[in-house]
Structure 1
């Protein structure tokens, strides 16, 4: 690992001792978490703390229309929330220790949908999608909460290809590493939607697909929560930490 050295002076009882500070020059990967519709950053905090423990800088945040701004929810569109996501990404990148070429985005449900589109607007090396939702391209600027649930449910049961959907087109263009996590008993995001996403990642460097047995969409069961945390942490360790160890070995 490359290091930065800085000469210093240590004063002890009127005597100056020469010393040298050595610190790694390597910058740190960043991880952006995007929660689902109706959720908040609280969903991501435990997993963010775990991944921060791997040596990453993590950012969680509340989308507009949620938590402190919940009063705006009936007016917020997908366009509004995408701008929130871009602003959060840019905030993460402003951290002085961030390696701008090593950014991971973890999105859950609606957040996973937004994460894929973000990857066409900002550099993303790793993309983790937990029960990613899928929406029609139409009515993009309408309040998200006003979209027909019945129509969405029917849409998610159909086969959708990248040329028919903005998010799936983003998946097709993505060349980094991907994790897709499915819940076995998800009544909102059916297996057909997961397969639409999976099939779209034609150019991905790697694709990992895991199913959390017995889990519902919101991971209401504590065992399911722990299972998802373990899946995400293991994948992040393999991809993010593994890439850095491999790079350091090559540099050496």
Structure 2
């Protein structure tokens, strides 16, 4: 991380000793994590801690209808959860150490879908989508638990153009850097859904697509969890360090 220098004097025993304070940049990147349907922030905490160690402000949170508000799950709609995500982003953006132009959003499954939508509503520089889900635009206000699973399965197994889906439309307009992580043995998010997302990113600055060999949707085995963590942390490291080098100023 680049540092700013500030000459000072240290007063001691009637002497003035010359010194220099070296302080890191006051603003750092931020990372918002969005968990999947039926999960909670615990899914992201270990990865968030690793990324925070890179010098980022990280925020994990529980979507409405999960964890402490589990009792509300049968009534929660996608509209409710998108509002949750926007509120979480705004809370992160208000952090005094945050560089507002350097925010990454990491979403898993349903959280990936919400992350894509968020990128069209807030300022997002980096977008990481782990097994991102996809939903039809209709019945937006209907409680998510009431969506027809068979209809969803058929929809996800077809190729969907950005113009026909709100989340994919946001992806088509996204000009930042993208990471898509697919699970080889995913029973919920087929390859066709991943390809709908991938082909939607027409304007992205960069796009990285990784497949977790042998992994299922929920990353139930430790090897898959570690593989995903490695991919995500390495990608965030590359993005964050690249951004710092890009805005570094020459030393006077």
Task: Give TM class, smaller chain.
Answer: over 0.9
Q: CA deviation at 1:4?
A: 6.1
C-alpha distance in 2 between matches for 1:96 and 1:26: 9
Corresponding residue of 1:76: 76
Q: Normalized against structure 2, the TM-score is what?
A: 0.93
Distance 1:152 1:132 in 2: 13
Name the residue aligned to 1:183.
Answer: 183
CA distance in 1, matches of 2:251, 2:171: 31
What SS does structure 1 have at the residue aligned with 2:38?
coil
> How many Å separate the matches in 2 of 1:249 and 1:227?
35
What does residue 125 of structure 1 align with? 125
Query: Structure 1: how far apart are the matches of 2:134 and 2:143?
Result: 16
Deviation at 1:247, TM superposition (A): 2.3
- Partner residue in 2 for 1:115: 115
Aligned partner of residue 188 in structure 1, secondary structure: coil
Say whether the 8 Å CA contact 1:8–1:21 is kept in structure 2.
no
Corresponding residue for residue 203 of structure 2: 203
User: Shift in Å at residue 243 of structure 1?
Assistant: 1.7
Seen in structure 2, the aligned counterparts of structure 1 residues 162 and 9 have a Cα distance that, compared at 3 Å, is same
Alignment of 1:1-252 (within 5 A): 1=2, 3=4, 5=6, 21-248=21-248
Report the Cα offset of residue 148 of structure 1.
Answer: 0.8
Deviation digits for residues 170-192 of structure 1 (CA, Å, limit 9, x no counterpart): 00000000000000000000000
- TM-score normalised per structure 1: 0.93
Structure 2 stretches of 5 or more lacking a match? Answer: none
* C-alpha displacement of 1:150: 1.0
Alpha-carbon distance in structure 1 between the residues aligned to 2:141 and 2:163: 20
RMSD: 2.0
Does the Cα contact within 8 Å between 1:2 and 1:26 map onto a contact in 2?
no
Report the more deviating stretch, 18-27 or 104-113: 18-27
Per the TM alignment, residue 24 of structure 1 is displaced from its structure 2 partner at its CA by 2.5
Post-superposition offset of 1:159: 1.0
**CA-to-aligned-CA distance 1:82-130 (integer Å, 9 cap, x gap):** 0000000010011100000000000000000000110111100000000
